[in-house]
Structures are given as C-alpha cells and as structure tokens.
Amino acid sequence: MDKPTTLPAPPTAPQRPYSYERHGVTISDPWHWLRDPKYPNVDDPDVLAYLKAENAYFEGWKAEHQGLLDQLFEEMKGRIKEDDSSVPIRDGDYLYWWAFKPGGAQYRTWYRKPVGGGEDQVIFDEPIEAEGREYFRLGALEVSPDGQLLATLADYDGSERFELRIRDLSSGKDIETVTRVGIGQPVWSSDSKGIVFTEVNDNWRSYRAQYHRLGADPADAATLYVETEELGFSVGVGKTQDKSLIIVSTGDNATSEVRFVSADDPSQPLTLISRRKPNREYHVDAAHGKLWIHTNDDHVNFRLAEADVASPEEWRTVIAGSDRVYLTGVTSYRDHLAISSRVEGLDQLLLRTYSGDETQIPFAEASYSAFFMGNPEFAPDSYRLGYSSMVTPMTIYDYHPESGELEVRKVQEVPSGYDASLYKTERVMVDARDGAKVPVSVVYKRGFEKDGEGKLFLYAYGAYGHAIPPVFNSNRISLLDRGWACAIAHIRGGDDLGYKWFLDGKLTKRTNTFNDFVDVAKGLAAAKFTRPGRIAINGGSAGGELMGAVVNSDPELWGAVVADVPFVDVLSTMLDDTLPLTPGEWPEWGNPITDREAFDYIRSYSPYDNVKAQGYPPMLITGGLTDPRVTYWEPAKWAAKLRATKTDQNLLLLKINMGAGHGGKSGRWDKLHEVAETYAFILTQTV
C-alpha cells in the first residue's frame, strides 16, 4: 500500500551517461557522477547541491513530525543517567574510570586516583576537546607504565584518521603530536619513553607500525613493520597481558600473521611467530614465558595452543577444536586463562588454571550476552564481567575465583523507571529454506498478542563473523511500550552459531544471509508475531547491504526500511582497488576483478545493480560525507536510482551527515536524535 506524504516533490539526480566493461559485460551507471573525483575532498557543486537538496527534503519530513521526534527523544533521554559513570578499575598504582559530568554532557570525562586514596584527577576531558567541533571521537587512551604520561588518539571530522598526542599528566598539557594519521591502539614501551603506533596511508589502509622515542622528531620514527605483500592486509599493534611483549599483527578478514618484540626495547628486530597461510587466523597472548595461541588452523571453531617464546613456530594443543564449543577468545592472566566461547549461540565464560582445572561462570537466563571486560592488570584479585539480556539491563560483575562469588558492581540505571517483569524475551528457531535453523531473539511487552496483527521491528547484520548479542537496549522500550515486538535475526554471515556460521554467509554463500533474513521474517509471521507489511527492518553498513538485497527480492514483506550507511554499490566498489577498503574486502565478498564467477555472483545480488521497476516500501537511507568505510556516494547513488525506478509513491528519504562519518554523529544526545529519527520513521510509515 502506498503511504503518501504531504511533502513537495522530492529532489531528483539527473542521469549522465557513464559505463564500463568488465569480463565482456558492459555496466551502465548513470549516477556515477555523484562520486566526486577529489574525494575525500568533496567540493563538486553539482554533488553538493544534490546532497543538500536531499537533506532539505529530509528536514521537511522531520518538520512534519517534530512533535513525535521530540517525544521519542525525551523518552529515550529519560532512560539514560545523565551523570553516568563506569566502575573504577585498577591498573598499577591507580584506579581509573570515566563519568559524564552533571548537566547533560555529550562526552565522557576520564579520571583516576591513587589506589591508597587521594584526590580525583581529571586526565582527559572530552567535552573540552569537543568544544566548538561538529564531530569528535576519542579512539584510544593509554597511560604510560610509570603513570606520568597519557597517549590519546582522537578523530575530529569522522574520517577515522586520528591524531596521536602525548600529554604530561602533571601539567595537563599536550607535549607532542606524534602523527595526524594514526589509527588503532597505541602501545607504550616498558620505560615509558617510547610509543608504538600504526598509521594509515592516503588510501586509509593501516599499513605500518612505527616506534617513536619521546623528544625525537616524529618524522624520524622507526618503522617496525610495513605491509608490502598483501594490498588488503591491515597492521595493528598491542601488548600481551603480562606486559612483556609488544605484538605487531597483520591480516585481513581471513588470514593473519603475528610478530613480537620485547616491550623493554621495541627497536629490536621483530620475531615472526608463523608465516601467513591463506584462511588461517591466529591471535597471541603471553604469560609465564609461553605464547598462548588462539587459532583455526586445524578446526573451524578454533583451538588453543601454546608455544615457547624461543621457538614460537612449534605449537602444542592445550584445548582441541570442537564441533560444539566455539572458542572466541583467550586472555592469559597470572593465575588463569580467561576463555570466552559460544555454545549453541550462547556465551560461555571459563577460567582455566595452568594445571588444567576449569571453572565455568554460571548465568541463569535462557538467552543473554556475557563477556570479560576491563581487566588491565596481569594478576587481578577478581575478573570484571559484563552481562545483559534483552530484558536485563547491563550488569557489571566482579567474579571472585576463590569464593565463586559474582559481586554486582553496577546495574545500568533507567532513571525514568524500568520493570523487567513487564517484558518477555524468547529465543525462536526458524527453519531457513535450505534446512538451516536460524536463531532469533525476540522481546515484547507482556500482553503482546500473537494474533498475526502485531508490528515487528527486525534487525540484523550478517557479515564479517560479527555476532549481534541479545542485549538490553533502553531505546527499544519506546517501541515495546507502543505495542511492537523487537527481534534480532542471528543470520549466517555472523558467527553466532560458530565460525562455520560465518563462512556459510560469505563469498559464494553470501546470499544465504539475505535468504535467512527473509525466512526469519516469514517464520515470525507464521508464528503470528506479525504479518507481511507490518515488519519494519533496519541494518547498517554490511547490514545496509542486507536491507538493499531483501527490499529488492521481497518488497511486499516490509512496512518500512531504514538502511544506515549501506554498502549497496557492491560491484563497482569491489572492482575499484583504489578505494580504501576494497582489497581487504575481497576475502569477504570475492575479487570480481580477477574472478569472473565472483563478478557474476556479486552482480546478481548487489543492491544498487538490482534495483527494478516495482513497488518499494517506505525507506530512510543515511550516509556520512567523510565516511571512509562506506563512501557517501553509495547511499546517494542508490537513493537516486530508486527514485528514478520505483513504481510506488511511498516515502523515500536520504540523509547525508555532512560533518560525520561511518558512525553518524558523535555526541551521545546527537546520536539519540538519530535513533528518534529512525523510530519516528518506522512508526509513521508502518501501517
């Protein structure tokens, strides 16, 4: 059913002839001109005029619904503690935490105080750093081992090129700017006089690890490692939990290679652990003179191995791979290996002594998310955990291994009030068309009738092996209290049910992801949660690609669609190896430049290439002008083609953040306004 609007006619982007040929196939792309050739500098007047016209059209829609937008924003803001703070955590001689200052601060302030007592010290004040800026994001914050210096990485425009600065904590003044194109996490040398960091090149690829000695000219930083063999590999650095080694890793979405050097002297040559092998991942920690290696070399669900530092290539199995237990992470502390795993899609947390005794930390709910968090010390007295479910607010625990006690340190507050007993969550298994059983996490307010007339908000991601955890979201209550059910589809492409679940949604199996999502929607309709046309859907980035695929294939199912920073121009992006991420993405999607089969397969589902003359549901599409991950022209071209092709009169909105990147706006209230826009759109458009 068309859902007309009182808005004037929407803007249109003219078509300009453009085509290219690959593998003997000519591809026409008349909206190619929306890509400014000067990107990341976008100053083409025609491009800017179109984006501004679309934004003005979006603002016109907002003006029609300002009352609802304001109501949603105030509801959601009322559920967030304005002066929220983290639980202090010990690191060396200090306790560290962050807090939002009273008065509605958009950004955190970071504090510390001596373990033995003393005054609180502000070590970094994000509100001051963000003052007068349209965008600010703190990417990393690392205190030196001697506690005297602070390294920060900050992004000031959403381009994800971070400035690395060194601050003297006694004076609060920045004393050095090491690089303006940093990324990732910086690592201090043991003597606190040097810093190891990674940089991106002009194509936004993290290509090298540098070592800078404080006081020296940053231009003279020593290159520890530069990636030259694989165009799509990214370089990262870290430090082992025992703080003895600095780790330098390189890899893509399927293959990794790790080196290390003593944190006492990072200028020494790196030691290679094991040379890269296609489709083998491994991750490394160190304790008690051994390397602890988490790898999928002989089982798809990973195993844990150990190796001697002196002979790092000789791996001995400690925990074998398992069809049932998916090992997701291992950290080596003094007394325990902290092991994260997933069994049948549910998180498991295990502490294992070095003699082999194991203790599983128990959780009661049938569906939940649990994870180790915030344990910077090598020998903690307790282990910090996070826990949540779709009805249980985030709870922070300290687990005491000696007594087995789970000590509650913080429960997420909902200032306007929240009664968990008013809501119910279910875990539903839906049969996909090929026989796979897809788990779905559903939450609704008690009293929701499964009569086939309910409205459903369905979310999914489905790529890169990223599982979407079934956690509490206070914003969601605005939908639940209006009678909606909300669901997360744990579709293939994520690793919710193990690493094979991820493999079964990538490369030549990519369309499983889209089919799973459609089948989940149909399955929930069959279970009387809803019916076709009353399902609002949302996904971002690769999840935005999902939105584009399913709206092409099954438009009649959806009442409204919100696609955030959607990766929809898949074919032309994967054909362009000059774009920042393309080479690193080939292990996920395939390389259509060299592989005709990959070309044909991507072309068969690429959302932009498969827009057709048919009715489409109401759609809200977002993008970011400075986004280096999904470039702004992907959502812009898609919206333009949809406007020119679709046969309905349903509302189509395009919003481009002109001062933000992939994650949208940066302040917590600014982000909340964007959630209100999403909710207002689906509430007004799903009938």
How confident is the model over 514-548, as pLDDT tens digits?
A: 999 999 999 999 999 999 999 999 999 999 999 99
DSSP 576: -
CB-CB contact of 430 with 437 (8 Å): yes
CA distances (Å), 153 to each of 164, 216, 235, in order?
A: 5, 19, 16
Number of H helices, E strands in the chain: 12, 37
**Whether residue 1 has pLDDT greater than 70:** no
Mean pLDDT of 588-598: 97
- Three-class DSSP category at 138: strand
| Closest alpha carbon to 470 in 494, 446, 435 | 494
DSSP 633: H
Q: What is the pLDDT of residues 638-649, one digit of tens each?
A: 999 999 999 999
Given the DSSP bridges, would you call strands 173-188 and 162-168 parallel, antiparallel or unpaired? Answer: antiparallel
Domains in the chain: ranges and CATH: 6-78+569-687 (3.40.50.1820), 281-413 (2.130.10.120), 426-531 (3.40.50.1820)
| Closest alpha carbon to 158 in 42, 32, 31 | 42
pLDDT band at 188 (very low <50, low <70, confident <90, very high): very high
Question: What pLDDT is stored for residue 591 in this prediction?
Answer: 96
Question: What pLDDT is stored for residue 104 in this prediction?
Answer: 80
**Whether residue 3 has pLDDT greater than 60:** no
CA atoms within 13 A on the CB side of 42: 25
Mean pLDDT of 473-488: 98
For the record, the structure tokens of 373 come out as: 């968090």
Tracing tokens 């190896």 back to the chain, one arrives at 577
Mean pLDDT of 115-123: 94
Dihedral angle, C-alpha 567, 572, 573, 578, nearest 10 °: -160
What are φ and ψ of residue 602, in 5° steps?
Answer: -60, -40
Question: What pLDDT is stored for residue 40 in this prediction?
Answer: 84
pLDDT band at 373 (very low <50, low <70, confident <90, very high): very high
**Whether residue 568 has pLDDT greater than 80:** yes
Q: What is the pLDDT of residues 197-256, one digit of tens each?
A: 999 988 788 999 999 999 999 999 999 999 998 778 999 999 999 999 999 999 988 999
CA distance linking residue 521 with residue 316, whole number of Å: 45
Residues of the chain with pLDDT > 70: what percent?
Answer: 98
CA distance linking residue 542 with residue 567, whole number of Å: 5
**Whether residue 476 has pLDDT greater than 60:** yes
- Three-class DSSP category at 125: strand
First to last CA, the chain: 9
| Sheet containing 346-352: order of strands | 325-332, 337-343, 346-352, 358-360
Question: What pLDDT is stored for residue 173 in this prediction?
Answer: 95
DSSP H helices, 239-288, are none
Hey, which residues are catalytic here?
Answer: 541, 627, 662
CA distances (Å), 397 to each of 280, 371, 538, in order?
A: 34, 10, 32
Count the Cβ atoms, other than its own, within 10 Å of residue 59: 11
Tell me which H or E stretch contains 516: helix 511-526
DSSP 646: -
DSSP 101: P
Between residues 669 and 35, which one has the greater pLDDT? 35
CB-CB contact of 481 with 380 (8 Å): no
Mean pLDDT of 90-96: 96
| Rg of the chain over all Cα atoms, to the nearest angstrom | 25
Evaluate the CA torsion angle 599, 602, 607, 611 in order and state its sign.
positive
CB-CB contact of 440 with 520 (8 Å): yes
Q: What is the pLDDT of residues 662-686, one digit of tens each?
A: 555 667 888 999 999 999 999 999 9
CA distance linking residue 131 with residue 233, whole number of Å: 36
Mean pLDDT of 366-395: 94
For the record, the structure tokens of 150 come out as: 């602070």
User: What DSSP letter does each residue of 444-485 carry, written as one string?
Assistant: EETT---SS---EEEE----TT--------GGGHHHHTTT-E
CB-CB contact of 99 with 122 (8 Å): no
Burial of 582 (0-12, 13-18, 19+ CB in 10 A): buried
